[in-house]
Amino acid sequence: MEKITYVTGNYGKYISVKEKFEQAGIEIDYFKYDLKEPNINDIKLISKEKARQAYQILNTPVFVADSGFYIEAYPDHPGYPGAFVKRSGISSNIEELLEVMRQVENRNCYFLDCLTFYDGKDYFQFLGVSKGTLSHEIKGEQNKKAKSRLWLVFIPLNCSKTLAEMSDEERNNRPDYRTSATDEFIKWYKKMLDDKHDETGKKLVKKVLF
């Protein structure tokens, strides 16, 4: 199969998806680079722009993955921080986040992931959602697969542990009805390659027979 490159400055993001690609038989390269984020609160537009930058740097098929974090009842700013999760500083200062949310009863929140693949000609985007609640305290330990420190305070739907408290098996099999941008991309990419190989085979057969 053809190789594609995952561009991100967050090594944890790469580690968290590397195994999935290997299991699907897809080879990926990792290029560590902090791409510039446009100052807009739209995860799809941010991801598309970063994919454009990544391709401009490497001139090879690339994909990028971005996450937004949305807190339903954030005081005076419902849905905050959204696509500004990194720039807001919330993911690096979860202690302050818990203090701000200390007396808020509605602790519903969710991650929205967007993966964008760009081959230099067309953009393809895939979304994933993971719903849950914000814990009242930090629980678990940070590990190399964590996309951010928010794993320490995010309890997925129908679960009693934060993502950081869970084992790999518990995270992979949690009953929260989440969707995965990575899984959707892998399914699409494998089908695209299969279709391409089938078409190549048909052309070869036609050339031999006719």
pTM recorded for the entire structure? 0.85
Q: Whole-angstrom Cα distance, residue 49 to residue 127? A: 16
Catalogue all structural domains in the chain, each as residue range(s) with its CATH number.
4-209 (3.90.950.10)
Average pLDDT in the 128-136 region?
98
Q: So what's the pLDDT on residue 2?
A: 64
What is the model's pLDDT at position 173?
94
Each residue's pLDDT tens digit, 24-47: 999 999 999 999 999 999 999 999
Q: What does the mean pLDDT of the chain come to?
A: 91
The values of phi and psi at residue 205, to 5°, are -60, -45
Query: What is the C-alpha separation between 196 and 209, in angstroms, rounded?
Result: 20
Residue 129 has pLDDT above 70, yes or no: yes
Structure tokens at 151: 């794993």
Residue partners of 33: CB distance under 8 A and separation at least 6? 7, 8, 9, 54, 57
Instruction: Note the pLDDT of residue 107.
Output: 98
Instruction: State the pLDDT confidence band at 111, using cuts at 50, 70 and 90.
Output: very high
For residue 199, what pLDDT is reported?
63
Q: Taking a C-beta distance cutoff of 8 angstroms, is the pair 166, 142 a contact?
A: no
